[in-house]
Structure 1
Amino acid sequence: MNAAAENGHLTPVKTGLVWGLKRSLLAYLQRIPDGAVSIDRGARFTSTYAFLFPLLNSDSFDPTTGSGVLQFGGVIHLHGHFGTMDVTLAEPWLHLDGHVGSLSFGAPGDTAHGVRSTLFEIPDVPRAASVDGTIRWDGLLPSIGVTGAELFKGNYPIGTAFDPLDVRIPVPT
């Protein structure tokens, strides 16, 4: 991730989903000989070395009920152990239903079929704040679900907390 900073690929956050994923995992990948973290299709690193997934669509979100789907773009890829760790998280969608939520991800490269998997649950979603023309949630706490635990090959049991995430979307006009 330091190479991204040296090459000027750090992005200030205005709208999008910002997430450090699991800092201990990313630090581990930096320590192993073939560990790699890459970004693609619009994902960026923030100044705090979190991932920024750009907002693609918020049309179905209803700010009065706090429900709907926020669609974000970008891909992160985690690789290590000579291919036995090969995890791609593509185009996250934040599904909100009042005070609960979940994060689903698309199948890498599958934009035509719409195949998605819910990998993380967010059991407590507070009411969003409206600040400077944006609706924002700070510090949402995702925990890994059944499919997420399978993707990470059981290294993170169901319910394991991952890093907090922040979300910014424009106030609907």
Structure 2
Amino acid sequence: MTAQSLSTTIPVVTQAGIRWSVKASFTAYIEKMRDGNITVFDGAIRLDDGSFFFPVQKEAAVQNSGSGTDGGLRFAGAVQFTGHGGMLALILEGLEITGEGDQSILSIADAYSPEGRLPFMTLGERESTSDGHAFVYSSPTLTEEGADLYFENYRPGTEFDALTLSIDPS
């Protein structure tokens, strides 16, 4: 596991992936804690604006429940939020986007789920950026399973920060 210090930032992303600040108020809460810590590792980076970047994991095809792929995308890297003497520990890793249109889901790796995945966010509709190199999901919402990770401090349906999916950053 390779961790990145908070003081190390990358100003420009030059590859396909997800750029997402998760929820700015949550990140600010962690950063204000005496023992709060945000760590990125395994390929994720923290950008100058405080958002996180998860690069596309090109060698991994997302499988559907059948025998083929469903056109989903898998992303490398992880971000871990900790605080409250270890009582708060949330890790977002193994991000995948599956589905189409307003049925798109962002899931994360979950060792406790029989499927090994947890549906974390419903992404909703996406819009193409004016340059055509990215899609923006402007209002992802927390799923019921995702809310459980926050001990329901955020309820199912809570809107999180916009998520940008870079498809051709050139």
| Smaller-chain TM-score bracket | 0.7 to 0.9
What residue ranges of structure 2 are gaps of 5+ in the alignment? 63-69
The structure 2 residue matched to 1:148, chosen from 146, 149, 165, is 146
TM-score (norm 1): 0.78
Closer, same or farther: CA 104–35 of 1 in aligned 2, 3 Å: same
Q: How does 1:104-123 map to 2 (within 5 A)?
A: 104-107=107-110, 115-123=116-124
Partner of 1:33: 34
- Displacement of 1:140 in angstroms is 3.1
Cα separation, 1, equivalents of 2:168 and 2:40 = 24
AA aligned opposite 1:87: L
TM-score (norm 2): 0.79
Partner of 1:63: none
Identity of counterpart residues, as a percentage? 25
1:51 partnered with 2:49: no
Partner of 2:67: none
Cα separation, 1, equivalents of 2:6 and 2:152 = 30
Partner of 1:22: 23
**Deviating more after overlay: 50-59 vs 74-83:** 50-59
CA deviations 1:40-81 (Å, max 9, x no partner) are 100001221200001113867xxxxxx721111101101011
- Whether the 8 Å CA contact 1:17–1:52 is kept in 2: the answer is yes
The structure 2 residue matched to 1:157, chosen from 140, 155, 158, is 155
1:82 partnered with 2:85: yes
AA aligned opposite 2:95: P
- Whether the 8 Å CA contact 2:126–2:137 is kept in 1: the answer is no
Closer, same or farther: CA 129–96 of 1 in aligned 2, 3 Å: farther
AA aligned opposite 2:19: V
Cα separation, 2, equivalents of 1:4 and 1:51 = 11
What residue ranges of structure 1 are gaps of 5+ in the alignment? 61-66
1:168 partnered with 2:169: no
AA aligned opposite 2:71: G
Cα separation, 2, equivalents of 1:94 and 1:84 = 29
SS in 2 for 1:10: coil
Cα separation, 1, equivalents of 2:167 and 2:75 = 10
Root mean square deviation of aligned Cα = 2.5
- Whether the 8 Å CA contact 1:43–1:52 is kept in 2: the answer is yes
- Displacement of 1:11 in angstroms is 4.6
Cα separation, 1, equivalents of 2:25 and 2:130 = 32
1:101 partnered with 2:104: yes
- Whether the 8 Å CA contact 1:106–1:114 is kept in 2: the answer is no
AA aligned opposite 2:6: A
Cα separation, 1, equivalents of 2:57 and 2:11 = 16
1:91 partnered with 2:94: yes
Count of residue correspondences: 154
- Displacement of 1:94 in angstroms is 1.1
CA deviations 1:77-121 (Å, max 9, x no partner) are 01011111110111211113134311001136xxxx971111111
SS in 1 for 2:99: strand
